[in-house]
Structure 1
Amino acid sequence: MPQIDLLQRHNIPLLMRSIVLENPNDRMYLSDVQLPVPDYSDNDLLVKVEYVGLNPADGHFAKTGFDKWQYPHILGLDAVGVVVKANKGVFPNVGERVMWHANLGEQGVLSEYAKVPNYAVSAVPDNLPASKAATLPCAGMSALIALEKLKIEQGDSILIEAGAGAVGQFAIQFAKARGADVFTTASKRNHKLVKQLGADVVFDYADNKLYEKISRELGSQGFDAVLDSVGGDSTIRNIELMRFCGRIACLKPLPKFEDELMYRKAPNIGIVSLSGAWLANSLCAQQKMSFMSKLLLESVAKNTVKVPEVNMVEFSATKVSEALHKQLNGGFTGKQIVNIISE
């Protein structure tokens, strides 16, 4: 249903509030600024942003920057908002609430308005709160792409690292829906949560004897598949836990592997990169992301998939910077969502 009340109450200004990165820095220092509302053309939509989901990638790039960025750069990749301007005949229509994962190579979405190609968005069902929809794009699509790369089928055994994280929570639910036997790691305080989501066996990620305990539980056959969201030494350990020619989907850069491990395990390694759909200018991949978004939205609207707990963040540079530090430090459960519309 079009959000007529919002449109009637709001006139589009010339300037908008935005949170920007003046320059990459280890402190992740950000600034509150006023910037021109973006122009839109052709198949672009102009969207009044309501909520922005924060991801570890936002914190990473706030520290390192990105080679395609010009500064000051607006951060943020996951957004939900209402279409307020679109050319005639362009769908979704003005007044429709939409969700999308933005192009890493362009300006982000931590602002009152953003432009986005119409083929990159998905309409949010009327019965799904906008703040919950904002938890979905990066984490949900990463989980789905990873499971697709892993070719998860009925009876497969899969290890899902960091099961209480946003990606892990979605991956557990979708893997169980495909009939997999799900093993996961989580802090002790989150064991009940991941069990409720469908995990069959849970290990304490901080256990000094984690490898031995997983090996004992798994037996000699090894995992058919691993969703690796931690990276580094964990990736090497996870390949050791896989069967010969097992499958691993990695969300982090690969570590250096010893030749002996590669020969002995012959792993099928897949890399998960949502940003690649944009950076490779692959319209097909961008549209596929939109299809995945629709699946996520429909699954949550039908209550067949649960979203992580929403932790609301104030729309200010200081609060977002604090949230990004928290994002990288870990130790929290749920999804941090910036409320753009609250006054």
Structure 2
Amino acid sequence: MPQTINLPKSMRAIELAKPNEAIRLADVTIPIPECNEHELLVKVEYVGLNSLDAYFAKTGFSQWQYPHILGLDAVGTVVQAKQGLFPTVGERVMWHANISQQGVLSEYAKVPNFAVSVVPKSIAASDAATLPCAGMTALIALDKLQITQGDTILIEAGAGAVGQFAIQFAKQRGADVFTTAAKHNHKLVKKLGADAIFDYHDNNLCDNIRQVLGPQGFDAVLDSVGGDSTKRNIELMRFCGRIACLKPLPRFDNELMFKKAPNIGIVSLAGAWLTNSLCAQQKMSFMSNQLLDGLAAGTLYTPKVTLIDFSAQHVSEALQKQISDGFTGKQVVNILS
């Protein structure tokens, strides 16, 4: 018999009827999801918003069925679990959801038990909700870049959520960290450990970076911007340097590829679910534990949290803001509101 507590038959959720540029969403009431023998039912407390949520709300995703519930990063309390499953009822958990299935902007959500991490009692649930997508993306990117002691790395958009985590992890691995950020965020990224900071609005950005870096070029680049910035970043790399890209690749000039011979890596959390890789899904849980351990130990700092009301209008406005130029911090939907 499953462990459980008294549950309602329906729940509030926020749905996307179809992709649209304005990110029009709807408040709905739908049945609570039914779990299979390896899934937990979680009462969702907080959902961290990501730029990916806004992007797919506008463009759609090939594996979504509509109406679709958005949201990938969740923290909540287990309210139903089959006998013998861990975590058990009453445990607070955090996870990054399967992008091909319904999301987590709802009062309840189901998730495979092996994909969650237990949140220590010392960590605020709203802070934990900032971790999964941005934190794991930063970790995967630095692993692909093979960052070690003494490497020089350029981290684009250092004040963004991924950038903030990446700066901290790169410094912990002994790298010299260069980053770009708007001027009003220079103090923030300096506090996180950045060694050299450049204004990404600067028309002389490349020349100013080379003046500080010297002629050798970066060992590695975490490219979260894409497009022409990716080409520029490869120009700033040493021969056979390493670049981890979070956005689709632009069309490269053959001469640039011949000149720099870059090692290009693509970062995707979604692939763990889309390829049905149980190993990759479990690895995400291990990374989540690493993030939670760092936060509990005081060696990792989260972006500043802005709480968003659980309503279609407020979430729509927040998602539009999520992809606006220069957005800093992390928006977290308070499902309990």
Normalising by the smaller structure, the TM-score range is over 0.9
Q: 1:15 & 1:330 partners in 2: Cα distance? A: 38
Q: Which residue of 2 aligns with 1:65?
A: 60
Q: 1:269 & 1:49 partners in 2: Cα distance? A: 37
- 1:41 aligns to what SS in structure 2? coil
Are 1:96 and 2:91 an aligned pair?
yes
Are 1:203 and 2:204 an aligned pair?
no
Q: Which residue of 2 aligns with 1:4?
A: none
Q: Displacement of 1:301 after TM fit?
A: 0.7
- Residue type of the alignment partner of 1:89: G
Q: Which residue of 1 aligns with 2:294?
A: 299
Q: Displacement of 1:25 after TM fit?
A: 0.4
Are 1:234 and 2:229 an aligned pair?
yes
Are 1:106 and 2:98 an aligned pair?
no
> Structure 2: any 5+ residue segments left out of the alignment?
none
Q: Which residue of 1 aligns with 2:218?
A: 223
Q: 1:157 & 1:179 partners in 2: Cα distance? A: 9
Q: 1:227 & 1:67 partners in 2: Cα distance? A: 27
Q: 2:285 & 2:325 partners in 1: Cα distance? A: 29
Q: 1:66 & 1:134 partners in 2: Cα distance? A: 23
Q: Displacement of 1:330 after TM fit?
A: 3.1
Q: 1:268 & 1:95 partners in 2: Cα distance? A: 46
Deviations 1:111-169 (A, max 9, x none): 00000000000000110000000000000000000000000000000000000000000
1:43 to 38, 47, 51: 38
- Residue type of the alignment partner of 2:94: M
- 2:336 aligns to what SS in structure 1? coil
Percent identity between the aligned chains? 71
Q: Which residue of 2 aligns with 1:3?
A: none
Are 1:54 and 2:49 an aligned pair?
yes
Q: Which residue of 2 aligns with 1:169?
A: 164
- Residue type of the alignment partner of 1:50: E
- 1:23-34 to structure 2, matched below 5 A, reads 23-34=18-29
Q: Displacement of 1:249 after TM fit?
A: 0.3
Q: Displacement of 1:42 after TM fit?
A: 1.1
- 1:287 aligns to what SS in structure 2? helix
1:267 to 239, 262, 270: 262
Supply the RMSD in Å over aligned alpha carbons.
0.8
Are 1:317 and 2:312 an aligned pair?
yes
> Which piece of structure 1 moves more, 73-82 or 209-218?
209-218
Q: 1:332 & 1:256 partners in 2: Cα distance? A: 27
TM-score, reference length from structure 2 = 0.98
- 1:142-161 to structure 2, matched below 5 A, reads 142-161=137-156
Q: 1:193 & 1:70 partners in 2: Cα distance? A: 40
- 1:261 aligns to what SS in structure 2? helix
Q: 2:241 & 2:7 partners in 1: Cα distance? A: 53
Q: 1:322 & 1:12 partners in 2: Cα distance? A: 31
- Residue type of the alignment partner of 1:179: G
Post-superposition, which runs of at least 4 consecutive aligned residues in structure 1 deviate over 6 A?
none
